Structure 1
Amino acid sequence: MEQNNKKDVENETHETPSFNSVTEHYRTIMGVPTNKVDMKKMPRVLRLFGYAVFAIAAICAVIFIIMYVLQFL
């Protein structure tokens, strides 16, 4: 039952809980964000840029694999 409450609190605040005191210290010192990124709240230009970068990376990976396989034929 306690697990469900933790998940509910995490979903409401969108905050990633610390694993232990070491990660908490690292987040405090380094300034690592604890909130999860909500792509729907990002500006449209940034969302499109992010999608384009991931799409180009995926296409390059597929082309690289195809070229690597064709090298041995």
Structure 2
Amino acid sequence: MHEKGDRVGAAEVVTELMAKTRYNVFNTRSIGKFLSTKIDQIAGGLMLRSENDPSGVKRYWVVNVEQETKSEAGERELPF
């Protein structure tokens, strides 16, 4: 994964997303439709999540499922 703020990594992600759209151009609606089909699917230990903000903008982010599972297991109390 690329670090936040990595412009080279962001350019690669945009290029990959554009390749998945109908006309190979950056169109937020087309990319949003593509990403919405991938929400909550796990691939390579990562999962795409999303939420709407009050202005109607959808925000996407990637979660490392393995780290999330470990932190949740550590927070649970043992039954005995």
TM-score category of the 2 structures, normalised to the smaller one: under 0.3
Could you state the TM-score of these two structures normalised by the residue count of structure 1? Answer: 0.27
Query: Greater strand share, 1 or 2?
Result: 2
Query: Greater helix share, 1 or 2?
Result: 1
Could you state the TM-score of these two structures normalised by the residue count of structure 2? Answer: 0.26
Of structures 1 and 2, the one scoring higher in RCO (CA 8 A, sep 6+) is: 1
